[in-house]
Structure 1
Amino acid sequence: MLALALLLAVSAPTVDEVAEARHALRQGRPIQAREMVRKAMGEGASGPALDHLLADLAFAEGRWAEATARYQALILGGKRSGNLFEQAAIAALKQGHDKEAMALLDSGAALPDAGPRLFSLRGVLADRREDWSAADAAYRHGLKLDPTSPQLVNNSGWSLLLRGQWSEAHRLIGKAAALAPDDKRIQANLELAASALAADLPRRREGESSLSFAARLNDAGVLALQAGQNEKAQAAFAGALEQSEFWFTRAANNLALAAPSTSTKR
C-alpha cells in the first residue's frame, strides 16, 4: 500500500505538468513548454499525450522533419484526429512534400472533427495542381464549417484569380478584406484583383496552362507599356509573376520598367 501511495504521489504531478506544458504551448510559450516537458520526462512521464505534445512542440519550433516523424508515429499508433493530420500535412508542406501532405489531408478530411483550415489547405494544393473542381469542393466544404474565415474566403478568391476570373475573385477577396481589414496579404491580393479588373486583362482560357496564361499576361503588359498604360502593364506583369516561375525574370524586369520612377512618386 505504501509503494502504491508513493507511485501515485509521483504520477499525479507528472500528468499535471504535461497538461500545463500543453497549455503553455497553446498560449504561444514554447520555451516554457519545453522546460516543463523536460521536467515531466525527468519524473518519468510517458505515453500518447506526451508524444503528441512533443510533436506539437517540434512543430511550433519549426523542426519540421522531427514533427513529421513524431506525427507519423502517432498515426501509425492508431491516433486519429483532424488536427493531427492537419499539423502533419503542414509539416510535410514546409519540407516541400506536397504529395505526402495531400495524402494526409485526404485522410484527415474523412474524420468528423476535420476543421476549416484543413479544407483550405486541400484547396491550396488543388490550386497548385490546377485541379479547379477539387479546389472548389475543398473551399466550399471549408466555408460550410466557417463561412466567416478570412483565410478561406481569400484563398477561394485567389483560386479564381489564378483562373483569370477577375470580377468574382475581386468580390471574394474584397469580402475577405472586410473580414480582416488589417491583413496585409489579403489587402495586397485585393489590390491585384482590382488592378486586373480595372485594366481589363486577358481571362484564362478553358484548359489553359499556367505557362500559356502567364505568357499572354506578359504580352498584354508589353503592349500596354508601349501604349503608355503603365497601371495596366503593372497589373499584367504582376499577374504573370503569380502564374508561372518560368516567366518570373522576364515579367519582373518588365514590371520594373512599368513602375514609376522615384522622381514621379508622390
Structure 2
Amino acid sequence: MNGVNNLRHHGRVVLVTGAASGIGAAIAERYCVEGAAVALLDADEVKVSQRGMALREQGYKVAWHQADVSDFAQCEIACQALTSELGSVDTLINNAGVSPKHDGQPASIWSMSPEEWNWVVGINLTGSFNLARALSPNMVEQRYGRIVNMSSVAGSAFLPIVAAHYSATKAAIIGFTRHLAGELGPHGINVNALAPGRIETPMVKSVSDEANEAVIAETPLRRLGQPDEVAQAACFLTSNESDFITGQVIDVAGGWLMR
C-alpha cells in the first residue's frame, strides 16, 4: 500500500463488490488503509471470508458477505446484513465483473451461448443496478453518496481479447453512470466510472502471454497496470477532493486506447 497513512475516508462506510480478489481486493484494502469501514461482497464465500478475516487481523473494520450480485434479493439481504454490522453505506464501488474465456480465447458471437451472454450481463451490468437500487434510497435520504462503477476501455473500443458480452456491458455501464449522475446529483450523490485497461489480475492472466505483450507494446507507459492503481483512482473519485466531479469516465490504462 506504499506506506499510505492518509485517513481521508475516515468515518465512511464503503461497500465493494467482487472484493475477494484482483482489483476488488485492492480497492477494499486501500479504503481500509484510508480509514473507512469496508464491506466486502463477493460470490465466492470462501475467498471473501479469507480476505475479510485477513483485513480484520490487520486491525481494520470490515465485514463480508457472500452474494450473487445478479440476484436482487441476495443483494438486499447482503446490504441489510452489512449495514447492521458497519452502519449505513455511503460509498458504493460496483466492481464485480466477469470475462469468460474458452481455452484462453473469448467466445465468438456465432458460438456464444445465450446462457453465457445472460450470465455476463447479469454480473457486469444488472449487478451494478442491483447494488445501486439497494443502497441509493438511503443515500438520497442522507443527501450524500458516492458511487463508482467499473467500466473498461473495452466499453469504447474493439478489443479482440474480450467477447461481445463484455464490451456491451462495459459500454452500458458508461450510459448507466451518466444517467445516475444526472438523476442523483440533486440529492448530493456523485456517480463516476473507471475504465481500466490491462491490469495485472487473475482475469488478465487467463489470456496468453503473447496477447498481454501485444497490449504492453501498444501502451505508452509500456507495462500492465497494477490493481492498487485502480484502487487509488476509486478512492480519489469518492474523496472530498473530487466533490465537483460527477458523470465522468476515467481511464486507468497507461495511455492505451486514448480517446
TM-score, with normalisation over the residues of structure 2? 0.27
Q: Which has the higher helix share?
A: 1
Higher RCO (CA-CA < 8 Å; seq separation 6+): 2
TM-score, with normalisation over the residues of structure 1? 0.26
**Which one has the largest radius of gyration?**
1
